[in-house]
Amino acid sequence: MSTIRIGNGQGFWGDNIDAPIQLLRGGDLDYLGMDYLAEVTLSIMMRQKLKDPSAGYARDFIGFIRTVLPDLVERKVRVLTNAGGLNPQACRARILEVARELGISGVRVGIVEGDDLLDRLPDLVAAGHSLENMDTGDPIKPHLDMMSSANAYLGARPVVEALEQDALIVLCGRVTDTALALAPAIHAFGWAEDDWDRLAAGTIAGHILECGPQCTGGNFTRWEEVPDLWNVGYPVVEASPDGSFVVTKQPGSGGMVTIDTVSEQLLYEMGDPNTYITPDVVADFTSIQLEQEGPDRVRVSGIRGRERTDSLKVSASYLHGFKASGQLTVVGPRAVDKARLCADIVWKRLERAGVVFAPDNREVEVLGTDACLPGITPVADDPSEVVLHIGVRDADFAKVERFGKELAPLVTSGPPGVTGFAAGRPKPQRVVAYWPALLDRTEVESHLRVSVEES
Amino acid sequence: MRVPLARIAHARSGDKGDGSNIGLIANHPRFFEVLVQEVTAERVKAHFARLCRGKVERFEIPNLCALNFLLHDALGGGGTESLKTDAQGKTHGTGLLRMEIDVPDALLAGELA
């Protein structure tokens, strides 16, 4: 078997919708990964599904499939995605409908189920799994009632199973981003379940791909060196059976692939570089060798891995009160002083109304000074204009809503030269907090289901 | 000569729980050793004193001529709970590159390997 080409056309929920089409039509491709789930997305999908049992997946994906399905079928490009969210069944039903509407028969759509643990949480706790919060050490039991989603991160194996059943499209819920790149390599090259070095190589290929254009010039430090960023090419990995691979992009696209752009992405969201834990393997980033083998082509080799761990990561979420924030633009002279006065006025008027927020639950930033990097970014003596960003959070919806009513009055009852309040009163938003935990992998793997249906 | 890190390195940052990570990479392999010597966890903690409430950890990745820093408790509550504009630490890499360090003149001029 020669090399396979794996692309990533969607790095996160809300990414550019034309990018995967450009990637698909810009050159050769065998597999296309599409990521739609941020950490808290499933909690939002849970609310959608409660309102409508046929919802709870990434609807953007349906529009994408409607546009590209003829190309996928003609060129046999297979799509791997977590767009199934909390409802891969409904997502598949909709895709099969779209295929029939387009008059395309024989489209095989696979789903992977078993990551959703919300209904199983009480049983798991009763069976002795503490599911303690990895950040705080708290056990989950006293908080069971407030959990709004709970999903295990699945690895590549169930995705491989769907590919082996000849699925053109594989719909997952919660699955690691790296699995979407590793699974095609396992499927194409027949890598063994304990071939740790190669599994680590496929995993690191997935890590490089997972944020889309962040390895092809997007978010790169020396941005002025990057050509045609507006048309940045989303990444393609050419994977070889021996585990080495080349990071590249489609011909004619913007951006660039260099050792520097790939290195930055390798370190993105990195913890301990020796121990990058996924459901499939523990990868060692200190083994990676990079070589510029041609323009926009970086060869990655030498990767080592170790045996996978006995547990899987669970990503649960719960509602944790409300927050709201708003902005006002203030022009100088003395713009900073006037912005700070505006903030003081808000807190004092709220206090007069009996609404008080703890210091940790309120935020005042004067954007245009050193708000994002306090004490680090140089500040002009008297900036010509600044933006006041002011926000609160609290368990009490009414308090947060009351805060939202104090910004607009500043335009007439605060200092002069305050403007830019067009967005209306800031509305309280639910805070979805994140509960990371570990769970014995056998508890998840015993409940995995993979199935394929055809249009 | 005293120069900003941006002169000899590039960086990328993002969120990691309630903190951020910053990957710092030498622009050329000859600058890696001076990064290891000068950009210690203690100095990074001091640089981000008003932002990072927790400790700073440092890891070395010599094969990439890079260092990785974890800034704990640096996002005002993390991801969805934070009220900060930069709730995900996206700017922290750019911020680190403003740190000033001493680099031998000959190394800057490319005269030392």
Tens of pLDDT, residues B72-112: 999 988 668 899 999 999 999 999 999 999 999 999 988 65
Tens digits of residue pLDDT in A345-369:
999 999 999 999 999 999 999 999 9
Domain assignment present for residue B102? The answer is: yes
A266 with B11: Cβ contact below 8 A: no
Distance (Å, whole) CA A319 – CA A435: 11
For chain A, list the domains and their CATH numbers: 4-115+153-307 (no CATH), 316-434 (3.30.70)
pLDDT at A299: 98
Domain assignment present for residue B113? The answer is: no
A373 with B51: Cβ contact below 8 A: yes
Nearest C-alpha in B relative to A321? B81
Sheet holding B56-61, edge to edge: B9-16, B19-26, B66-71, B56-61
pLDDT at A40: 74
| Count of domains observed in chain B | 1
A264 with B12: Cβ contact below 8 A: yes
pLDDT at B112: 59
Residue B67 DSSP SS3: strand
Per the structure, the complete domain to which residue B29 belongs is given by: 2-106
Domain assignment present for residue B78? The answer is: yes
Strand partners, A78: A31
Distance (Å, whole) CA A153 – CA A134: 15
Domain assignment present for residue B112? The answer is: no
Domain assignment present for residue B111? The answer is: no
Predicted complex: ipTM over 0.95: yes
Which residues are CB-contacts of A211 (< 8 A; sequence separation ≥ 6)?
A11, A12, A265, A268
Residue B51 touches chain A, beta carbons under 8 Å:
yes
Tens digits of residue pLDDT in A165-189:
999 999 999 999 999 999 999 999 9
Residue B14 touches chain A, beta carbons under 8 Å:
yes
The token duo for A306 is 């170790």
A434 with B78: Cβ contact below 8 A: yes
Nearest C-alpha in A relative to B85? A372
In chain A, the percentage of residues whose pLDDT exceeds 70 is 100
Residue B87 touches chain A, beta carbons under 8 Å:
no
Give the one of B48, B61, B97 whose C-beta lies nearest to A285's C-beta: B61
Low-confidence ranges of chain A (pLDDT < 70): 1
Domain assignment present for residue B49? The answer is: yes
pLDDT at A106: 96
Whether the pLDDT of residue B113 is over 60: the answer is no
Give the one of A287, A375, A391 whose C-beta lies nearest to B49's C-beta: A375
Residue B18 touches chain A, beta carbons under 8 Å:
yes
Kindly report the number of other CB atoms within 10 A of residue A74's CB atom.
Answer: 9
B25 with A220: Cβ contact below 8 A: no
